[in-house]
Structure 1
C-alpha cells in the first residue's frame, strides 16, 4: 500500500499518490486502496481537533500578548494552522475522487 500513499508532513497524514491510472490498478488493489483511504480519512477529524486546540492556545496567548513582533508571529502561526485545517477538510471530503484517477496534491 505504501506505493499508493505518501506521508504529507504539512498535513500530518498520508494522502493518495496514484502514479498510474485507476483503471490500470487491479480491482483487489483498488479495494485495498479505498479501504486504507477510509481508515486515513476517519482520522482527519481527530487531526483537525488537535490543530484547533493548538490554535485556541495560540489565540489565548495572542489575546494577552503586548509585544508586536510576537503578536505577528502568533498570528502567522494561527493562520498557517487554519490553512492546514482547511486543506484537511478538503481531503476529508475527497471520497469517490480517489477512484477517479490521480488525486490532487
Structure 2
C-alpha cells in the first residue's frame, strides 16, 4: 500500500474541483434539491405521526431530527454550489505543480 495514498487522493480531488467547476456545481445543486425535497417530507411525516398518534413519540422525534439534518445538508450543498465557481476563479492554484506531485507519488 502506498504511504502517500491520502495525499494522492486529496491532490486529485483538488485538481478535480478546480478544473471541473461546472460538474461540481451541478452535482452540489442536484444533491441540494434532492435532499431539500426529502427534508420537508420527513418533518411533515413526523408531525403527521405525532398528530394522528400512529407512531411513537420516539419515532416522531427521530424523523424530525433526520429531517433537520437533511435541511442542514441541503443548505451545505447549496452553499458549496454557490462557492465552487468563486473558488476556481479567485484562488491561485498552480495546477501543474500539483499534477507533478501526483505523478511523483504515483511513480513511487
Unaligned runs of at least 5 residues, structure 1: 1-17
Contact 1:41-1:92 within 8 A present in 2 as well: yes
Question: Does the residue aligned with 2:19 lie in a helix, a strand or coil?
Answer: helix
Aligned to 2:24: 37
Task: Map 1:9-88 onto structure 2 (within 5 A).
Answer: 19-20=10-11, 22=14, 25=15, 30-32=18-20, 34-43=21-30, 44-65=32-53, 70-88=56-74
Runs of 4 or more, structure 1, over 4 Å off, are 97-101
C-alpha distance 98-58 of structure 1, shift in aligned 2 (>3 A): farther
Unaligned runs of at least 5 residues, structure 2: 1-8, 94-108
Say which structure is richer in strand.
1
Question: Does the residue aligned with 1:19 lie in a helix, a strand or coil?
Answer: helix
Contact 2:50-2:57 within 8 A present in 1 as well: yes
Highest CA radius of gyration, 1 or 2? 2
The count of aligned residue pairs is: 77
